[in-house]
Amino acid sequence: MSLSNPLKKLALCVILDLDGTLLNTDALVSEVLRGVLGKYGKQWDGREVHKTVGKTPLEAAAAIVEDYELPCTANEFMSEMNPIFSKMCSNIKALPGANRLIKHFADHGVPMALASNSLRANIESKFSSHHGWKESFSVIIGGDEVASGKPSPDIFLEAARRLNIEPSGCLVIEDSIPGVTAGKAAGMEVVAVPSIPKQSHLYTSADELINSLLDLRPEKWGLPPFDDWVEGTLPIEPWHIGGPVIKGFGRGSKVLGIPTANLSTEGYSTLLSEHPSGVYFGWAGLSTRGVFKMVMSIGWNPYFNNSEKTIEPWLLHDFAEDFYGEDLSLVVVGYIRPEANFPSLESLIAKIHEDRKIAERALDLPMYSTYKDNPYLKSCVKDGSHI
């Protein structure tokens, strides 16, 4: 999903944002906002999240106070939020690919700086549960250490100064529009990793647009490439999800000729927010039928322009009958590619079948095949089923 020529400039260092880029801060902010707004009789539904992403804490609070017409000032609202947030911020999870990226650059001696609109003290708290992060950065700057936060270029220019590298040699990785604007104003190259779905059209000033950190190709910027891709797949920390099979949009078999088994996303909003949209693969357990290879999509399906994020696994086996209502458990072990739009239905179908071939081959590799015996799958499959 590049926005420009694939031949990029040579980067001498990397400057990373924190919230929404490395950490899934939005999920925690939403949780805290639901509680605090509830005291005012208001309900947080996340629709105004774009007004807070990339802003300083005070700017974000001001936006919430205005939008929800709260009977308090932005500072008063912050004073309610901060104690709750501070207690919980050490538990913010890393976004997929964050640990891999930081370790990769640190192992290869690539200078790194962290430049965040968060207060410096809050950065320290957020880092506390992420082993090795603080030591990996040569420079760490909070929004309270510069005259103006993003979208001002101040924080990025200060990071470059402390790294002793010219701005033109810096590669910024950012999730927010204010962050992208700040990076470009500083004269740096910027890779955007949007944290708000279906907003990529707003990031046209970025030099490159990627779906998640899993999709970063450092070699485009003259940096050491990742060496952990295996036969077109990226091993990931396994995760699982399950529930009864439900009826989907009715286009899997009828339109695509691909019988996907839809899972309800109810109760999994936090889990879905942790994993970027894209194509994954792993093993699927049906309670009365056994364990099978599967490839699945998570996301918005841009060709059909879904309004909600969905999970659509394709069990790679020919079944004689439907299994709606049957319990389905998934263990996700690898990543293939980001979600993408396609110019035609035919090209979409061809890509899905290519994904199937990649997944089928990969799942025969020992590094993936061992998960067929995962306890989570075995616990859902009844005795007597073929495994």
* Active-site residue, 312 included: yes
Kindly state whether residues 17 and 155 are assigned to the same domain: yes
Q: Give the C-alpha separation, 242 to 377, whole Å.
A: 10
Residue 47 CB contacts under 8 Å (≥ 6 apart), including other chains: none
Q: Give the C-alpha separation, 39 to 55, whole Å.
A: 24
What is the extent of the structural domain holding 285? 234-380
Domain boundary at 173, 190, 221, which?
221
* Active-site residue, 19 included: yes
Going by C-alpha positions, the residue among 235, 216, 232 that lies closest to residue 224 is 216
Question: The domain spanning residue 38 has which CATH number?
Answer: 1.10.150.240
Considering the domain boundaries, does residue 134 fall inside one? Answer: yes
pLDDT at site 235 = 98
Q: Which of 80, 158, 215, 312 is catalytic?
A: 312
Considering the domain boundaries, does residue 8 fall inside one? Answer: no
Share of the chain above pLDDT 70, in %: 90
Calculate the CA 386 to chain-centre distance.
35
pLDDT, one tens digit per residue, over 201-240 is 889 999 999 999 999 999 999 999 999 999 999 999 999 9
Write b or e for each residue in 152-184: b if 16 or more Cβ atoms lie within 10 A of its Cβ, otherwise e. bbbbbbbbbeebebebebbbbbbbbbbbbbbbb
Q: Which of 19, 26, 80, 189 is catalytic?
A: 19
The pTM of this model reads: 0.86
Considering the domain boundaries, does residue 4 fall inside one? Answer: no
Considering the domain boundaries, does residue 247 fall inside one? Answer: yes
Residue-wise DSSP of 58-122: HHHHHHHHHHTT-SS-HHHHHHHHHHHHHHHGGGPPBPTTHHHHHHHHHHTT--EEEE-SS-HHH
Kindly state whether residues 99 and 80 are assigned to the same domain: no
Considering the domain boundaries, does residue 242 fall inside one? Answer: yes
Kindly state whether residues 275 and 182 are assigned to the same domain: no
Question: The domain spanning residue 160 has which CATH number?
Answer: 3.40.50.1000
Question: The domain spanning residue 256 has which CATH number?
Answer: 2.40.30.30
Please, how many CA atoms are within 13 Å of residue 61, restricted to the half-sphere of its CB? 19
Kindly state whether residues 121 and 199 are assigned to the same domain: yes
- Position 84 confidence tier, pLDDT thresholds 50, 70, 90: confident
Other beta carbons within 10 Å of 267: 9
Question: Structurally, how many domains does the chain consist of?
Answer: 3
Other beta carbons within 10 Å of 79: 12
Q: Give the C-alpha separation, 192 to 203, whole Å.
A: 7
Kindly state whether residues 170 and 79 are assigned to the same domain: no
Kindly state whether residues 202 and 248 are assigned to the same domain: no
Q: Which of 17, 174, 189, 207 is catalytic?
A: 17
Residue 270 has pLDDT above 80, yes or no: no
Kindly state whether residues 347 and 258 are assigned to the same domain: yes
Considering the domain boundaries, does residue 5 fall inside one? Answer: no
Q: Within 286-382, where are the H helices?
A: 345-362, 366-369, 375-380
Residues 321-343, mean pLDDT to the nearest whole number: 88
